[in-house]
Amino acid sequence: MSTDGFIKVAAACPVVNVADIEFNVKNIKECINRALEQEAKLVVFPELSVTAYTCADLFTQKLLLDKSLEAIEDLCIYSRKKDLLIAVGAPLVHKNCLYNCAYIIFKGTILGIVPKSYIPNYTEFYEKRWFTDGINIISKRTDLYFQENIPFGTNLIFTSGIFKFGFEICEDLWTVIPPSSYLSLIGANIIGNLSASNEIVSKADYRKDLVKSQSARCISSYIYASSGVFESSTDLVFSGDLLIGENGVLLKHNDRFQRKNEIITSVIDVSRLNNQRLKNVSFRDSVKLLPFEALEINFKFSDTKITSFDRYVDKHPFVPSDEAQREVRCREIFNIQTAALAKRITHTNLRKAVIGISGGLDSTLALLVIVKTFDMLNIPRENIVTVTMPGFGTTDRTYNNAVSLCKHLGTEFREINIVDACLQHFKDINHPVEKHDVTYENVQARERTQILMDIANKEAGLLIGTGDLSELALGWCTYNGDHMSMYSVNCSIPKTLVRYLVRYVAQKEVEKDISDILMDVLDTPVSPELLPKDKEGNIAQKTEDIVGPYELHDFFLYHFVRQSETPEKILFLAKEAFKNDYDEDTIKKWLDIFIKRFFTQQFKRSAIPDGPKVGTVSLSPRGDWRMPSDASYKLWQ
């Protein structure tokens, strides 16, 4: 399995003794070895980890500074045959000024030295007593006794293929415009922060928020390593906080206050970050404001393959895995849907809504949205005209659920059997009734839509569409049939999430009688019921048997549209996410079908009605997805 575009990174917190350089380097080496064992290609150490951060006036001692440089030389020698980028903290004397720096080491060489831009000098911090800020140091060079002409500055980018590394130090992240913002704009997609952040109540939560938000703003990965408990001295306590974030998500963090060498690792998806930057116009526009250009330092990893791919891949990316968060998400989506529908109703000054009810998930959710909207607007529920239209494939189960739900909700309920009308239409177009092909199915779908549209005209009401995002992605709808309405409330909600929304309403919003009906709807197989039922009167036409499991298609949709991934990478991720559910051949089969249907059915999406966007993925032709109806899918298969 190819892991191109992925890289494993590490944040480390070694045990230190303040000013005991030999002891500190020994533990730094141990962390380097552990990072290599876990296939990391970058390891970030805390601020001033060679000497320890809390040396105070000892930083003015020549002996400490000389031994610190000897330690850096020792680490360079130690790293000669190690395929690992090392970011370690130590002081540097440059032109009679002392700088707090990150030394970037690779295979025996210092690739560059990055000074701390902002020196804190308030409350418990008084670093300016020793250190000079490096904010204006751009593209300079410096010499050490064992290596000359070393790049020195805050604009250094360390590049190996698509992996571009930038570094800042502690306080830099807490400023109005962190250096990492500029580093990201000049190319860095992986940011390392060498830190020494002490602990006070709630500060750890704020640090997590900073790492998540900065990685989101920069569309980057962010690796944060802070000094550990053995730095604690006098009034300050440190915890060894280690964090790895990616584009707003915290991928990994440690348990703080450990009393041993500690390292955390995570796999970073750099190709995804680069894809997101290409799509984000504001990110591209920000590049115009750069005050300087990058000094790019090229090096080359021998190998970035990952034999143990331990990155979590969510099989249901549209659905939060945490139950409490999922409930909050469902409530928010439900509120967005009702707010959108309320706006359309008040704008059109219509007092009625019309909806076709099948007893399936999508129409059930749409009806629940209408009911809540009408309650919010103080419009009687009797003004909701619910219509069930039994056909050739309607089963007793879905029919009874549709009837019971409408009556329990207090809507105006109508039943219109479409069998005779469809038979007449078959006769009109000379179609054999026993030929159960796409024409047979679409006649029923269009007959239902015609009835609903005409009722809406007759009642001066708004016909509400029920189709969901997954159906639009696959084109699993009849053009000018269930494809069409006057306003569509489910159009940006994927099928996997529709289930949880209905379940949320069943558990949190309605009384038990209605809840029982909703739970049975949830338990009913997904089907358009356009083919005759079986001999036992059960559903014979199951959608997922024809187009494939919706959980797979929603996964494909998320990674294809939201993340702009290639089919090869989607297949790789799907195999990881569903390794206990589907074999590779099954996943590939449905992925091929997804690609083909997604491309060939764009003409339906180009003509869909208005509907609210509720998440990061929407296929509206007026905003989120503009695609030619005649594009070839050959390249993607």
In the annotation, is 565 catalytic? no
CB distance 119 to 132 below 8 Å: yes
Q: Which residues contribute to the annotated binding site for ATP?
A: 356-363, 466
Active-site choice (39, 47, 171, 441): 47
Smallest Cα–Cα separation from 116: which of 158, 63, 169?
169
C-alpha–C-alpha distance, residues 261 and 265, integer Å: 14
| Residue numbering of the annotated binding site for deamido-NAD(+) | 442, 471, 476-479, 604
Helix ranges restricted to H, 419-468: 419-428, 438-459
Q: Which residues define the annotated binding site? A: 122, 197, 203, 356-363, 442, 466, 471, 476-479, 604
Catalytic residue, chosen from 8, 41, 107, 116, is: 116
Per the annotation, where are the binding residues for L-glutamine? 122, 197, 203
Measured on CA atoms in the order 136, 139, 145, 146, is the torsion positive or negative?
A: positive
Q: 174, exposed or middle or buried, with CB in 10 Å at 0-12, 13-18, 19+?
A: middle
170 is catalytic: yes
* Residue 148: active-site member: no
- Cβ–Cβ < 8 Å for 192, 332: no
Which residues of 116-180 form beta strands (DSSP E)? 140-144, 147-152, 156-160, 163-169
Q: Map residue 68 onto helix, strand or coil.
A: helix
Q: Which of 13, 31, 76, 170 is catalytic?
A: 170
Q: Do residues 275 and 50 lie in contact, with contact meaning Cβ atoms separated by under 8 Å?
A: no
DSSP secondary structure string, 265-325? EEEEEHHHHHHHHHH-HHHHHHGGG-SS--EEEE---S----SS------S-TTS-SSHHH
**Which amino acid is it at 195?**
S
User: CA 610 to CA 591: how far, in whole Å?
Assistant: 28
3-state helix, strand, coil in the chain (%, to 5): 40, 20, 40
Cα three-residue angle 45-46-49, rounded to 5 degrees = 90
Q: Is 243 exposed, middle or buried (0-12, 13-18, 19+ CB in 10 A)?
A: buried
Phi and psi angles of residue 489, each rounded to the nearest 5 degrees, phi first: -90, -15
569 CB-near residues (< 8 Å, 6+ apart): 5, 271, 559
Q: Looking up tokens 């006098």, which residue turns up?
A: 234
- Could you list the active site residues? 47, 116, 170
